[in-house]
Each structure stands twice: as C-alpha cells, then as structure tokens.
Amino acid sequence: MDTDIEQEWQVAVSAIEHYAYCPRQCALIHVEGIFEENLYTVRGNITHERVHSDDGATLRGVPVHRGLRIYCDRLGLVGQADLVEMRPEGPYPVEYKSGRLHRTPAELQLCAQALCLEEMYGVAVPCGAIYHAGARNRREVKLTAALRQHTEQVVSAVRDMLRRGYVPPPTDNPALCMRCSLVDTCLPDVVREKPRLRGVQSVLFRVHDAEEGDA
Ligand code: SF4
C-alpha cells in the first residue's frame, strides 16, 4: 500500500475467509461491525485460544510462533497467524480449524498469511497447512499461483466493499446460513423475499391505479 488513503482500508486476514464463505457475512462483520456467537464460533474461538496460549516454543523440535501478528504492506493486509513453524527453509503457517471445514475459505486465509510472511521475512513460503482440530489431522496446502491470484482478488473485493460500505444480498446457498452465527441479524429468508414482495406490491398498485382510472 503506497498511500495513506489506502492505509485506511486495510483488510483483515480473517475477512478473506468470511468473504469466501459469504460476502454478506463479511460485510455484516467488517462493514456493519456486527458479530454474534454460535456453537461453531465458540468452538473456533476455543481452538484458537488453545493454540495461542500454549507456551510451547517448539513443536516436534521446530521453533514456532503462536498468535503471530502479521502484515503485508503491498496488499494492505493485517492479521494474526495461529501458528508459524520457523523451519530452516523459511516460515510455514498452520491454520487451526474446528468443526466442519470449508476448504476454499480456509485455503484463501492460509494463503493470505503466507503472503504476509513472505513480505515480513523476505523469503518464499510455498506451502502451509490446515489443522482440523475435530479430526486431528493436518493437511498440507500448496500455495499455487492460482491460489495466490484468487487470494489477491478476494482482498481487492473486500477492500472495495469496505470503501463503498456495501452489504451484498444473502448467499444463494441456504445450507451456509444454517451454520452462520449472523442468521438472526441477516434474516436471509426475509431479504431474499424482498424482490418478490416488491413485485407483488407493484402489481397491487397497478390494479389500484387502474380502478381509480375507471372511476
Ligand atoms: S445468514 Fe446466510 S446470507 Fe446471511 S450472512 Fe450468514 S451465510 Fe450469509
């Protein structure tokens, strides 16, 4: 980011995952400042707190940073990485997830962390991993050119949404809403119905106008 104006629109690394899950969820949190807890967010918070508060300075003999503050000036990104292994060849980010894993949002978030680490440490970060706390397994993710490009596109989309203060319509996938902590604030079913209700309203007014004309 070159200018002070751009600095005003820094994007949180967590917003990338929110946007990839549902742009409206991202806007409600990062534009409107709304956040509500549900079972899934509480589980996620507990998982992250466990990782961050563990005082182990090494993991399987590798030095680690926990809850590391990260940034990328080039993209105007700021955030926190759950765990970064400081391997001899360079930093290796590990993102912890609880509950059901949404693959693409988690990979984009991990890639954003890698982009930050590359700028901070001046070395390439070709891979990272996602640790699924429920299944207790770790999956390595290759940070390909396509994934990097997708991540940068999402960063631009989030920044554009922040600048405009825009809140997009609800997702077309209601299954996502069932696990979303913002469902009671978002009211996706009501908002989805609005265009249909507007259509009904306009028909009613047309009938009314016609009746007045007949009189
Ligand atoms: S309830 Fe559905 S549409 Fe609304 S923010 Fe959550 S996922 Fe998006």
Ligand 1: residue of 21, 40, 173, 176 to mutate (most ligand atoms within 8 A of CB) is 176
Q: How far is the CA of 182 from the centre of ligand 1 (A)?
A: 6
pLDDT in tens, 93-108: 999 988 666 789 999 9
Q: Which domain holds residue 145?
A: 4-214
Do residues 1 and 74 lie in contact, with contact meaning Cβ atoms separated by under 8 Å?
yes
User: How many CA atoms within 13 Å lie on the side-chain side of 2?
Assistant: 0
pLDDT in tens, 169-198: 999 999 999 989 999 999 999 888 876 666
Residues framing ligand 1 (Cβ under 6 A):
22, 24-25, 28, 170-171, 176-177, 180, 182-183, 186, 188
Angle between helices 13-21 and 145-164 (to 10 degrees): 90
How many beta carbons lie within 10 A of that of residue 162, not counting itself? 19
Helix (H) or strand (E) holding 182: none
Question: The CATH number of the domain where 163 resides is what?
Answer: 3.90.320.10
Flag whether pLDDT at 68 surpasses 60.
yes
> Three-state DSSP class for 62?
strand
- Of all protein residues, the one whose alpha carbon is nearest to atom 5 of ligand 1 is 25
Do residues 182 and 22 lie in contact, with contact meaning Cβ atoms separated by under 8 Å?
no
Flag whether pLDDT at 70 surpasses 50.
yes
Amino acid at 149: Q
Q: How far is the CA of 80 from the centre of ligand 1 (A)?
A: 24
> Cα(91)–Cα(139) distance, rounded to whole angstroms?
16
Q: How confident is the model at residue 128 (pLDDT cuts 50, 70, 90)?
A: very high
Number of domains in the chain: 1
pLDDT in tens, 145-175: 999 999 999 999 999 999 999 999 999 999 9
